[in-house]
Structure 1
Amino acid sequence: MPSNEPHAPVSSSFVVRRDGDPVPESLKGAVAAIGNFDGVHRGHRHLLDMALRSGRPAAVLTFEPHPRSFFQPDRPLFRLTPEPVKLGIFARLGLAGAFVLRFDGRLASLTAEEFVTLLKGELELSGVVVGHDFHFGRGREGNPERMSGLCRGLGLDCLIAPAIVEGSEPVSSSAIRAALEAGDIAAANTLLGYRWFVRAPVRHGDKRGRELGYPTANMRLPDDCRLRHGIYAVRASVNGQPVDGVASFGRRPTFDNGAPLLETHLFDFSGDLYGTTLDVEFVGWIRGEERFDGIEALIAQMDRDSEEARRMLKADRTPSMVG
């Protein structure tokens, strides 16, 4: 989910503090939920809610790039919410701001004690919230119990959030990635607590959709996107307004079998979206990508896909994090 402005402000009241910046007045003495927060799913939101209920400024402390990208650079990570998207969700949830720490060799080398000292000294926090499985410090030497003891020694409050479970499994970013890779939008959105969405600029294509009677907004998603190729019911945000549609993500086997592309047809919409950055929410899975022997067969299937998308969209009640 690329963005044209990766460090653009996300809200007039939400502030972002990065390495080397002074701590904004509005974040001094904050209680910060700590984690990677990829997806900002229901489990993450429980931590954020605990910070919001603290009675002090509520913030989040997160890391960029994702630590796995630092430790395993040869294994691209399917990011559910790249930094600009993640920060936008934090702002919508009512947090005062975010501390974004660059995850590099310096940060990775800090001991557990040094990391907690940074929280108290450099970041001027008054308390933290961590998950039940949180690890920190060099070699992941610290755990929640260690965090609690170190915080107590420095006069910091420390809250430990329990796991949030769906069925018999904890809600996790890994489970959401697996659901999206399988095309199981319903499961992914249940775990997230909102409709998963992508953000990217609309680019010029070959105009083939217009010739078929289905003009599309074409978006190139990051190479690490592992969403299953197929047809989806979607809802886009156009000038702040939701517009229903149907989208294909894949290689277009009927035509060129090229690089993966998200092609979104918006129902009952006419307008020029080229160059704009579009948020597209995924509502439901319709079918896998197919190769058709002729244009007529393809158009007939697109008609059926559109009908199914309209049905799914009409029935959907999942909350949105867009707009």
Structure 2
Amino acid sequence: MEIVRSLAPGIAQRPAVLTMGKFDGLHLGHRQLIGTAVRRARELGFVSAALTWDPHPNLVLRPDSPPQLLTSLEEKIDLIAALGPDLLIVAPFTEATKTTSAAAYMAQICAALPLRELWVGEDFAMGRGRSGDVPSLMTIGRDLGFAVGAVSKVMLGGEPVSSSRVRGLLAAGDVEGAAAMLGRPFGLRGTVVPGDQRGRLIGFPTANLQIRPEHVLPADGVYACRIALDGASLPAVTNVGVRPTFDGLRRTVEAHLLDWGGDLYGRALQVTFLHRLRGEQRFSGVDALVAQIRRDADAARELLGAV
């Protein structure tokens, strides 16, 4: 997959089928949309392309209430690449972008690549005032030479799959429900940074992950996870929260790799959340905490098949 980071004229020469969206989380609906564009391009012998924006448009449109993101840009790029488009356009979203009309923005896209088909979600809207809905895009397409197709929402549990529903499930600690909507387990990427060393002192060393502040975290609690490291998938117990037994104030993500030892400082880890073991608790002392951590580790081994 080729990645371009602008809408400069001539980024593609062959006719193209394009889909576009925020694609936060790359949930089942997004996967269906991108898959449709890829399939149509292959049927027609055209270039398949996806367009998303950086930063997330809501960071520019509503700076006073920025969104909590399900995926970083790097995660989003990797997930889109796995779906097989030929081209990914990561277009800048600026103050100028938010005042650009849908017709003017689509004219920019058509100058960048020979657009023949555009596929969007049935409730998609773009451009100044969100005026570029599906009927408006069809009118614009007749003028600019492309057809527009709308993909229906993916339904799960009688309701449409959406990024906001995924966020709600994660806020409740329901990582398994979130996984059903994402089509894969929810994960985080973070760099291991020095912590307060308490885990090591009580016999359960943890990797303290530095997570970007705009990234969604699941509800405070303890989770059975897998961590990608050097091509292996290692079982782990991960705590999300403020560590109330030690009067913590700042939310942290700390992962204890089961039956593994080594130095992880400075390493970038991918943590995949598979099961919630319990909520975060305050214990009467270190001994009670250690006993519970042992129970958590045993439960995680059983759930993860790491016995």
TM-score bin (small chain): over 0.9
| 2:236 corresponds to 1:245 | yes
**Of 28, 49, 73, the match for 1:42:** 28
Which amino acid in 2 is paired with 1:198? L
* Aligned residue number for residue 18 of structure 2: 32
- Which sections of structure 1, spanning at least 5 residues, go unmatched? 1-13, 316-323
Displacement over 4 Å in runs of 4+: 20-25
- Which sections of structure 2, spanning at least 5 residues, go unmatched? none
Q: 1:285: Cα distance to partner? A: 0.9
* Aligned residue number for residue 208 of structure 2: 218
Q: 1:33: Cα distance to partner? A: 1.2
* Aligned residue number for residue 19 of structure 1: 6
RMSD: 1.7
Secondary structure of the corresponding residue to residue 193 of structure 2: coil
Secondary structure of the corresponding residue to residue 115 of structure 2: coil
Q: 1:296: Cα distance to partner? A: 1.2
* Aligned residue number for residue 296 of structure 1: 287
Please say if residues 220 and 260 of structure 1, whose CA atoms lie closer than 8 Å, have aligned partners that are also in contact: no
Count of aligned positions: 301
Q: 1:88-141 deviations in whole A, cap 9, x for unaligned?
A: 111122222211111112111121211221221134333221000100121011
Residue identity (%): 38
Which amino acid in 2 is paired with 1:109? T
Secondary structure of the corresponding residue to residue 222 of structure 1: coil
* Aligned residue number for residue 91 of structure 2: 101
Q: Distance in 1 between matches of 2:150 and 2:28?
A: 16
Which amino acid in 2 is paired with 1:75? S
* Aligned residue number for residue 115 of structure 1: 105
Q: 1:21: Cα distance to partner? A: 4.8
* Aligned residue number for residue 128 of structure 2: 138
| 2:145 corresponds to 1:155 | yes
Q: Distance in 2 between matches of 1:24 and 1:189?
A: 35
Please say if residues 110 and 138 of structure 1, whose CA atoms lie closer than 8 Å, have aligned partners that are also in contact: yes
Q: Distance in 2 between matches of 1:58 and 1:212?
A: 53
Which amino acid in 1 is paired with 2:251? P
TM-score by length of 2: 0.93
1:62-211, aligned counterparts within 5 Å? 62-211=52-201
Q: Distance in 2 between matches of 1:311 and 1:134?
A: 43
Q: 1:135-165 deviations in whole A, cap 9, x for unaligned?
A: 0121011211221232133221322100100
Please say if residues 117 and 146 of structure 2, whose CA atoms lie closer than 8 Å, have aligned partners that are also in contact: yes
Q: 1:229-262 deviations in whole A, cap 9, x for unaligned?
A: 1101110000121111110011111114131111
Please say if residues 250 and 259 of structure 1, whose CA atoms lie closer than 8 Å, have aligned partners that are also in contact: yes
Please say if residues 232 and 283 of structure 1, whose CA atoms lie closer than 8 Å, have aligned partners that are also in contact: yes
Which amino acid in 2 is paired with 1:52? V
